[in-house]
Amino acid sequence: MATALTYAYRGRDSAGKVVKGKVEASSEGAVVTRLRTMGVSPIAISESSSTGLQREISIPGFNKGVKLKDLAIMSRQMSTMIGSGLSLLRTLSILSEQTENVKLAKILTEIREDVETGVSFSDAVGKHAQVLPPIMINMVRAGETGGFLEGALDSLATNFEKEVKLMGTIKSAMTYPVVVLVMSLVAVVVMLVFIVPVFAKMFSGLGGSSRCRLRCSCTRPMRWCSSVPRSRSLSSCSASGGAETRTPIVCVALSTP
């Protein structure tokens, strides 16, 4: 099966009203065929590409159900076909065959079967409340009761399209911060695993031969000593002449140079 692309179209319905929207198809010819089935005479068809910051992020494992984008396309197409004079059963049959989302196609088939048995369209839609949003069920019920189902579906499609655009903008705006955060975490891990151990070994190697300056305060007699090795005992202090004195002293450590 060919990869489905998103095409933006503009055309006129049977009443001469200019309509526009997006549809997924494998080629422009398939778009023309679908539009004619919907009762729309195409005026302009162009491929709608999402690149750069406008690309919607798709996370594996989170798109197994019916996406809001699929509902927006389905609502727009249903509104257009009903406005073109097609019956509800014919509209549901066409949408169930042409919808790319397998789960949504199955739901549309079940709704069509319920409508064929005499169940109202709103009640058939309400049976899938675990998948379809409450606003869609309530709008369909209000439109069917008031006799403006086409307008209700059109308003529903507009609302879904705005939500899809907003979600795409938010996801695109979050791309740069997420990338920066991931790169920062990777840099920290690399420093802790590879760089910090190298400096630790270097400082541990220098620790055995380092000298510190000591200031020794001798009580009897007063003596000063400096550059005393750390390995020497601090219980004695060298006199100025080089001879050691046996008088106890107090040695105070100064800062290392």
User: What confidence score (pLDDT) does residue 94 get?
Assistant: 87
Among 5-9, 66-70, 124-128, whose mean pLDDT is lowest?
A: 5-9
Residues 6+ apart with CB under 8 A from 93: 112
The residue with greater pLDDT, 239 or 101, is 101
Average pLDDT over residues 112-138: 90
Of the spans 61-75, 101-115, 198-212, which averages the highest pLDDT? 101-115
CB 104 within 8 A of CB 136: no
| pLDDT per residue as tens digits for the range 211-235 | 444 444 444 444 444 444 444 444 4
User: What confidence score (pLDDT) does residue 203 get?
Assistant: 78
CB 132 within 8 A of CB 123: no
- Taking the C-alpha atoms of residue 216 and residue 238, their distance in angstroms, rounded to an integer, is 10
CB 77 within 8 A of CB 23: yes
